[in-house]
Structure 1
């Protein structure tokens, strides 16, 4: 109890005297930066998930070819969730003597639960957003329907036995994005109109869906309950079962936000590490006095540990409060960009902020501070005596351990955290080596040049340990800043370049072999570029290494669905341009008898397929068996024709084959589709523009969120630079007193300080530029799968900007030391 009271008294005294001011400020800024990033990224990730859920128009969807049991809707409503119903089936719209195959969707009045409907009153009119479906008796149809039938809004069309008024042009239905394979344009009608059409009978091919949306915890509880109650033939669809293009985009958005948080962690660690040096120096006097008064080393360590823990707890709580207010203000400013108020944050960032503060304090501050217990009592009389130097290995291991733990915890992605940590450690090693070389090179130069140059370079040599510490701290801060620039200018641009402005927005399937050449001529006549025509076969996976495959073998929902349905297979002599071989090798194109499979990495992971496994497929009753020769990473969001499994020509070419292609159709040219269907009636057109628009919106909002999250990290980086300069304040104050006593003018002192800090800035900036570029390349290629294009501006800004910024900051920090007369400074220190 006496130890605790003593710790509280010392903490109160240090707080009043400003002893802990810099360390507390560093901890508060570190925790507030990480917490603000955590709170904001948590809310943005939830908003991005909700936006992605708009592709399903709900958070969860129960789907079946038969009417769903009422117990599911009753359970959802009793849990406080909102529900809606849809029916979808293929049919034919008639207008006079013209007919058009369409995909009919009948929806209840609550539709959509997520997202919105967008319509136009006339072709080319301004798009309007609507949160309600069509009223009974009205029909909304896509522009393709208008072009195919030659009709305008307001005219009558026939659907089954009923007449409908074509009220609006449907330009977007949120759930269109998840319905990748549609046989024709979608038409939207009210669910109440289904009986009068006479189209839905027990023999009809109808898809019934129950849509569910609400609070995340309630949705998850309902999902768990539903999974245990699902009857045969009922599927539970959620975000993880969405199109691979959408999943990939959402995963990348989350990784970008995690990378933003990682940079904040990096800056936080560097800031606290620099502030620790000054804290240890200023606490040496207190430890010496306590030793003179009879305090044991164990007691000093106990009091010190309690003070640091209380300090860490207090600073962490203050930082959490600052982070909460900062993200709350930012969320209010940016909520419109995410379609309304952002979801409330989860409590997890609170724990992350508290954990960050304590881990940072323990990892960077406690090891060097514990040596204060060994300060000799004689320091009361001889101020040159201090705490014995700490074990370099102990400090290094503690710092690396704390940084690795923080990064892994914050990123939630071992690969991403690993590459950033390796880049950080590589930067630290280079900076320490550079500091050693700089000191050796500068020693001979002290005898050359003018007085100011000798004095400025001498400042780097008087305390080699301090020079190494400052150079390392500056380098880490600059590394973080440059990583911000690389991510903002290069990686985000690369992410958005994955879907070019003229990326394919339509697919053609069921192309017959005899139509391939004529279809190519049609595209050439219409001056439409297409992605190439690829063979496609449908087959079901039956065995892996001779063992039968069934859905019951897998726990994962997606794996079960993959096994239940047929695969789209293709054959090729060369891999596609947007496919990358990550394991094994592609087969020899000149070998006419090669019989192998190439499998996409995602499906291989889901189904447990490995390189060298033997796969068996059932292709229309014909068994096909071959060995997996390689695994491919597919860029699904390129919207080029891609396949989970590709075989060799010898394996699949002789089987009945259809073909597939994709192409970009500019807005307003929907009439070309009508011509295409008339010339090639067996071809099925698939419109993917809805999901492309959804993905682009997720990219835009995710990029915006990342840019604003970096503002917090930038503030933390500026504090880190200030802390690095303040770390040598005591030494520079002593030098200033001596030099001014010997007659050096204020201007000379400031110029010498400028030379010292500009040298540090240039060197730190040069090394950090190299490491930031290397880290950016590894993160881009290994984590995101992008092609990295390094920019020369990063090196220019990194070197020249760092030299100028650190030089000016050093001069400004030295200015207060030259204002007061040397005698007054000496009196204040005694």
Structure 2
């Protein structure tokens, strides 16, 4: 039959090309509507919309930051120094390039008498602030009037959170260090808020005269000076910015400043957007892959409905390849409609977000049509539709006409031809390549691809195992269990599609539930029990012993730990500038900006030497450094390598003497880099202290020690760990909510796929119901048989989902998030049970409709 030449068709091109004929027949068949393709369209549109929307919104955010970079940065360029102001030569260099302004930022304690004290993020600005953008306060003030000294107090604008925390109002006064500050307004908007970063305390905006009056700026104090430069127009081009950045590093190599331009106003924020975008894109891709199962189910059902047409075409001499191409064309045309819907929704998302929430967002957003990102989403949609449609369509090529008619009751199991398998392999390879190449972190993308492939393979094996087990089990005497068991393994059973659809959904639910519970437990329960109660920063070197005595007096039963502390910025590793170091993603933060460093005669508590040896207590040789093992491996460092760190404007070269394993989760005092004591001989520095109560502390005791410390040592910054953890937890909770919202898309896709799998088996179920009802089966007996079938499949699949989801969450928590995994299956079991209940409910709902059909009209066609 394959060699038969089909009869000429009117309108066919003389060249013999089958493409016009295929298109004509495809369009003609589509006139009947899209019945049976609702879930197909929804799955494709949902996944593409998720990917297109997330990537378009990300591009709008990054474009907004790029276009508003000058306002965010406060100028065209920013030069940041830690623990010191720019010297005369550095200031002269900056002034030679353009108009210079400066801000100083540091943490400090605001004391409000008997109302207590609070940690604040102090931001001290010069007279011309802001040079770019507008400062908004309530009530409105000009910056000069707002911050001026009047009646013995310096003016300030405070975050509303500070007023709420200390029960203050506009017009009240607080003490910061040795200065009195009057809260004249609340902060509404700062043009450079993003560049200032997110702190643990509320913002307090003051003048630089005020911060000098506090006497908090001492040698070694953790104060950051940032110099913003507004360049002439001819130097503010992209090329000019790059030239000045390179020149500054060349002319003043030991300045140790961190340089940013308006083109990368906040690189950390931009990277965080990229990371979160990748996560949400993977969630969207999960929805698309889960939806792909729905595509396969819909195509399988489509082929089932077209059996008569396929048989007719083949009996008239149509080659198998032409039949497959005809229906593949139809499927891809329908997929194109779903992709178009998804692209439209995704492209509109940035404009919708800007219109509804733009005024609430603390970051600039520039809604735009991100054509590149939309093109990637288009490719995802096309490849997914192709991957999941080829296999069910390819089977129709070689099945004989008689087999097509008989396939309803005795489906033939065979692989598609090699050409379709090759096309399928190429499509899968293209989809995997796209997922990896388009990812920000390709390691995570590869892990995702591996997990997705393993899930599909394992679920197929689970389905095969369930069918084999059902086939070998003894036959029950009761009709309903016997029928349920037979339905699980009979030819054309729903088992493979139901197990795949439900298994993916339950695995995803369990994974999300366990990640959620672990994050909550780590941040709200585990850490506070193990962590110190307080961190005390910026303890002046001259007052370190006195402050330690004060802590012992206030907390006689507490464990007190104190170490020297400085800030340093890595300049080079193994002779290479840090800009040329290709660090692993999870440790690249070490190269970004300044890090806390210390020196010690003995290894710090909470760490152990894993390679090399510690230096002698009286060591006087070349400076040595101890490195965190995981960070060193991520940076490609080993014992004997040299590093250069800039501290207080001086480059110091040290050799790695040993590597340590650090238990960071203890929240004790520890550092990535610990130097030999002789490395910083004579350098000004402060101290860091912790107070740990053996049985914890209460709020009243905490408030008392904070107030006493602020009154007796106004230079010292006190951080209550519980407050810091609450601040972190607030941020993480918002991220978890965003993750839950995004993951809901994948869960909706799972639900759609499950419904699609049940709908795909409608024809077979209808045939069974008609025959059984004709033989005398009652509706109740059939419903009980189907309920038992769906329940058994759901239970078996739930067990797999629990195991697979637990493994996936374990790997994410331990390998990606670097946290300790705690097994808590309460939420996961509840989610699994709910999924099984929904599956059974959907199955019985569809079955009820089938059982309501009259047998006569179907018996005539058998």
Q: 1:462 to 1:88 in 2, by over 3 A?
A: closer
Q: Which residue of 1 aligns with 2:228?
A: 210
Provide closer, same or farther for how the CA distance between residues 550 and 264 of structure 1 changes in structure 2, counting only shifts above 3 A. closer
Q: Structure 2 length normalisation: TM-score?
A: 0.71
Give me the whole-angstrom Cα distance separating, in 1, the residues matched to 2:62 and 2:552: 37
Task: Name the structure 1 match of 2:184.
Answer: 168
Instruction: Answer yes or no: is 1:525 the counterpart of 2:554.
Output: yes
Between 421-430 and 401-410, report the one with greater CA deviation. Answer: 401-410
Secondary structure at the residue paired with 1:821?
coil
Aligned to 2:507: 479
Unmatched runs of 5 consecutive residues or more in structure 1: 75-83, 91-101, 119-127, 195-204
Given that 1:573 and 1:648 are in contact with CA atoms closer than 8 Å, whether structure 2 keeps it comes out as: no
| CA-to-aligned-CA distance 1:472-528 (integer Å, 9 cap, x gap) | 222112222333333444446657889979998864235438834752542651799
Distance 1:650 1:32, change over 3 A: same
Alpha-carbon deviation of 1:419? 3.4
- Asked if the contact 1:364–1:399 (Cα under 8 Å) also holds between the matched residues in 2, the reply is no
Q: Which moved more, 1:289-298 or 1:379-388?
A: 379-388
Q: 2:288 aligns with which of 256, 262, 265?
A: 265
For 1:780, the equivalent position in structure 2 comes to 813
Does 2:323 match 1:300?
Answer: yes
Provide closer, same or farther for how the CA distance between residues 143 and 640 of structure 1 changes in structure 2, counting only shifts above 3 A: farther
Partner residue in 2 for 1:201: none
- Give the CA deviation at 1:357: 1.4
Is the Cα–Cα contact under 8 Å of residues 571 and 644 in structure 2 kept in the other structure?
yes
Q: Does residue 821 in structure 1 map to residue 854 in structure 2?
A: yes
Give secondary structure in 2 for the equivalent of 1:447: coil
* CA gap 1:765/1:386 in 2 versus in 1, 3 angstroms: closer
2:298 is the alignment partner of 1:278: no
Counterpart in 2 of 1:438? 466
> Does the 8 Å CA contact 2:41/2:334 hold for their aligned counterparts?
no
The CA deviation at 1:462 is: 0.9
Quick one: structure 1 residues 628 and 176, their matched pair in 2 at CA, closer, same or farther if it must change by over 3 Å? farther
Residue number among 24, 35, 57 corresponding to 1:43 in the alignment: 57
Q: Does 1:455 align with 2:483?
A: yes
| 1:46-57 paired onto structure 2 within 5 Å | none
Distance verdict in 2 for CA 1:113–1:772, change over 3 Å: farther
Structure 1 position 11 matched with structure 2 position 26: yes
Change in Cα spacing, 1:167 to 1:439, as seen in structure 2 (3 Å) is closer
Give the alignment partner of residue 72 of structure 2, picking from 44, 58, 61.
58
Residue 563 of structure 2 corresponds to residue 534 of structure 1? yes
Post-superposition offset of 1:591: 8.7
CA shift at 1:617, angstroms? 5.9
Please give the secondary structure, in 2, of the residue aligned with 1:800.
helix
Residue 800 of structure 2 corresponds to 767
Aligned pairs for 1:465-504 within 5 A: 466-491=494-519, 494=522
In the TM superposition, what are the counterparts of 1:277-676 in structure 2 within 5 Å? 277-323=300-346, 338-339=361-362, 343-344=366-367, 347=370, 348-379=372-403, 389-390=414-415, 394=421, 401=429, 404-405=432-433, 407-408=435-436, 412-445=440-473, 447-463=475-491, 466-491=494-519, 494=522, 507-509=536-538, 511-512=540-541, 515-516=544-545, 518-519=547-548, 521-522=550-551, 525=554, 532-536=561-565, 547=575, 568-571=597-600, 573=602, 585=610, 597-600=625-628, 609-615=636-642, 625-627=654-656, 629-630=658-659, 641-647=669-675, 659-661=687-689, 676=709
Per the alignment, do residues 374 and 519 of structure 1 end up closer, same or farther by CA in structure 2, a change over 3 Å counting? same
* Alignment partner, residue 135 of structure 1: 145
Deviations 1:633-677 (A, max 9, x none): 8969x9865534124789999999863236799899999779647
Q: Distance in 1 between matches of 2:271 and 2:534?
A: 18
**SS at 2:822 equivalent:** coil
CA distance in 1, matches of 2:266, 2:30: 56
Cα distance in 2 between the residues matched to 1:795 and 1:158? 49
Using a 3 Å threshold, how does the CA distance of structure 1 residues 568 and 688 change in structure 2: closer, same or farther? farther
Offset at residue 814 of structure 1 (A): 1.1
1:30 to 22, 39, 44: 44
Per-residue deviation, 1:806: 1.3
Contact 1:596 1:627 in 2 (8 A): yes
User: What TM-score does the superposition give when structure 1 sets the normalisation length?
Assistant: 0.73
Q: Which deviates more from structure 2 when the two are superposed, residues 295-304 or residues 737-746?
A: 295-304
C-alpha RMSD over aligned residues = 5.9
Q: Could you say if the C-alpha distance between residues 645 and 375 of structure 1 is closer, same or farther in structure 2, counting changes exceeding 3 Å?
A: same
Q: 1:768 to 1:289 in 2, by over 3 A?
A: same
Distance in 1 separating the partners of 2:63 and 2:560: 31
Q: Which whole-Å CA distance do the structure 2 matches of 1:212 and 1:500 have between them?
A: 45
- Kept in 2, the 8 Å contact 1:60–1:236? The answer is no
Q: Are the aligned partners of 2:139 and 2:185 in contact in 1 as well (CA < 8 Å)? A: no
* d(CA) in 2 for partners of 1:89, 1:799: 50
In 2, the alpha carbon distance for the partners of 1:515 and 1:719 equals 64
Q: How far off its partner does 1:698 sit?
A: 4.6
Query: Mean alpha-carbon deviation: is it higher for 311-320 or for 523-532?
Result: 523-532
Matched position secondary structure for 1:484: helix
Matched, 1:730 2:763: yes
Matches within 5 A, 1:60-139: 62-64=77-79, 65=86, 66=91, 85-88=101-104, 104-106=124-126, 108=128, 110=130, 113=133, 133=143, 135=145, 137=148, 139=154
Aligned in 2, Cα 1:709/1:792: closer, same or farther, shift over 3 Å?
same
Residue 622 (structure 1) shift: 12
Q: CA deviation at 1:358?
A: 0.6
Deviation at 1:105, TM superposition (A): 1.8
Deviation, structure 1 residue 453: 0.9
Question: Which residue of the partner structure matches residue 93 of structure 1?
Answer: none
- Distance in 2 separating the partners of 1:157 and 1:518: 20
Aligned partner of residue 561 in structure 2, secondary structure? coil
Asked if the contact 2:74/2:130 (under 8 Å) is kept, the reply is no
Alpha-carbon distance in 2 for matches of 1:258, 1:627: 40
Cα gap change, 1:105/1:484 in structure 2, threshold over 3 Å: closer, same or farther? same
Could you tell me how far apart the structure 1 residues matched to 2:526 and 2:271 are? 11
In structure 2, distance between residues paired with 1:239 and 1:688: 35
Give the secondary structure class of the aligned counterpart of 1:390.
coil
CA distance in 2, matches of 1:758, 1:470: 11
Instruction: Measure the CA separation in 1 of the matches of 2:406 and 2:325.
Output: 25
2:835 to 788, 802, 812: 802
Task: Give 1:364 shift.
Answer: 1.5
State the distance in 1 between where 2:226 and 2:193 align: 14
SS of the equivalent of 2:126 reads strand
The 1:615–1:26 alpha-carbon spacing in structure 2 relative to 1, beyond 3 Å, is: same
Contact 1:31 1:268 in 2 (8 A): no
